[in-house]
Amino acid sequence: MNNANGVPYFAKYDLFRISDEWSKYRMVDLGGYLPESTANHDSLAYHRNMSFTTYNSDNDRQSSYNCAVNPRSAWWYNGCDHSDLNSNYFAASGNDNSIEWDNLPGGQYNLKFTEMKIRPI
């Protein structure tokens, strides 16, 4: 991921496993946050064991609203997020409804580039 200033960072885990449609694509395993990661905070751990939430499938722990609606996003929301790599790219600068990774050096909001890569274990 690249922060708002274009500086690259990455978060690397030793395990990442998503369950099936029946469990609503729950993040069933998130292994250890590896020390070679350059993002100085594990912002995905907060979402561990959550099912995937979209605007029309509310699976988050927020009882009063759906966390996916306001940012027009979809993610493994808890109540609501510490990271959201699918959020609004064109959100206002510093806006919580933008693509984010909490505590990223140089700013956690308005990330300019993100990708998730899966590797065999």
pLDDT, one tens digit per residue, over 57-69 is 999 999 999 999 9
pTM of this structure: 0.90
Cβ contact 75:84 at 8 Å: yes
Q: What is the mean pLDDT of residues 4-28?
A: 95
User: Which pLDDT score is estimated for 63?
Assistant: 92
Q: What is the mean pLDDT of residues 16-45?
A: 96
Q: Number of H helices and number of E strands within the chain? A: 0, 4
Range list of β-strands (E), the chain: 16-18, 27-30, 83-84, 100-101
Contacts of 63 (CB under 8 A, 6+ apart): none
Q: Please state the φ and ψ torsions of residue 21, each to the nearest 5 degrees.
A: -60, -40
User: Which pLDDT score is estimated for 61?
Assistant: 96
